[in-house]
A and B are shown apart, each in its own frame.
Chain A
Amino acid sequence: SQTIHQWPATLVQPVGSPLSLECTVEGTSNPNLYWYRQAAGRGLQLLFYSVGIGQISSEVPQNLSASRPQDRQFILSSKKLLLSDSGFYLCAWSVSAEAFFGQGTRLTVV
């Protein structure tokens, strides 16, 4: 069966520090991979979308970047965090229309 691992679960980082969130998927090949963010009191905003290794689509201009170094690995990064980067970050995978989510990372930038 397929599983998705996302870590860490919670993270508190100072403004200006770097960020690296990692997501890995097991039990499937060539999945579509996603990074979403849920800001406080808001919906799920699609940040990045990948259909294959090295193929990243950015959905909104922002302080973040994404990379897919391996088929089932998706990394969300920032060189310098802003206060506005705080939120709940979710990784997801799909091979058809349904997407399946990780448990999320609560990022607080202080």
Chain B
Amino acid sequence: DQQVKQNSPSLSVQEGRISILNCDYTNSMFDYFLWYKKYPAEGPTFLISISSIKDKNEDGRFTVFLNKSAKHLSLHIVPSQPGDSAVYFCAASAIKNKLIFGTGTLLAVQP
């Protein structure tokens, strides 16, 4: 039972354009959502998060949007840079802060 889903395994974007990464979840008990970035053979690094009481959180080039009614969140990267190329994971948390991750989206930013 995949509670957090990233339906796009990969995404290719031109440098300078917007990257939009999507994530859907099924558990209505999730109250905190996070995005992580991962390079090969390394641990994921935390990017940005959003609480369920908000619908938008912005940090520099990164913005996360949350649509609770649709159980959907997205990560926008603007402008995209070649160094953003990595696997992006969304994650969700309910009670006890146990994080459930999606399957990841490989972002390739073309120079």
Measured CB to CB, the residues of A under 8 A from B are 6, 32, 34, 36, 42-46, 49, 51, 57, 88, 90, 92, 94, 96-104, 106
Number of B residues, CB within 8 Å of A: 22
Q: Which listed residue, B32, B42, B43, B98, touches A49 by the CB 8 Å rule?
A: B98
Q: Which listed residue, B45, B97, B100, B104, touches A94 by the CB 8 Å rule?
A: B97
Extra 19 A-B pairs, beta carbons < 8 Å, given A43-B89, A45-B101: A6-B43, A32-B97, A34-B98, A36-B101, A43-B6, A43-B103, A44-B101, A46-B98, A57-B98, A94-B97, A94-B99, A97-B97, A97-B99, A99-B34, A99-B91, A99-B99, A101-B43, A101-B44, A101-B45
Listed by A's residue number, 22 A-B pairs whose Cβ atoms lie within 8 Å are A34-B98, A34-B99, A43-B6, A43-B101, A44-B44, A44-B101, A49-B96, A51-B96, A92-B99, A94-B97, A96-B97, A97-B32, A97-B34, A97-B49, A97-B97, A97-B99, A98-B34, A99-B97, A99-B99, A102-B43, A104-B43, A106-B41
Does residue B93 face the partner (Cβ distance < 8 Å to A)?
yes
Interface flags, B73-97, vs A, CB<8A=1, else 0 = 0000000000000000101010011
Q: Contacts A43-B102, A97-B32, A97-B49; is A103 near B97 (CB within 8 Å)?
A: no
A46 to B46, CA, bound (A): 17
Measured CB to CB, the residues of B under 8 A from A are 6, 32, 34, 41-46, 49, 89, 91, 93, 96-104
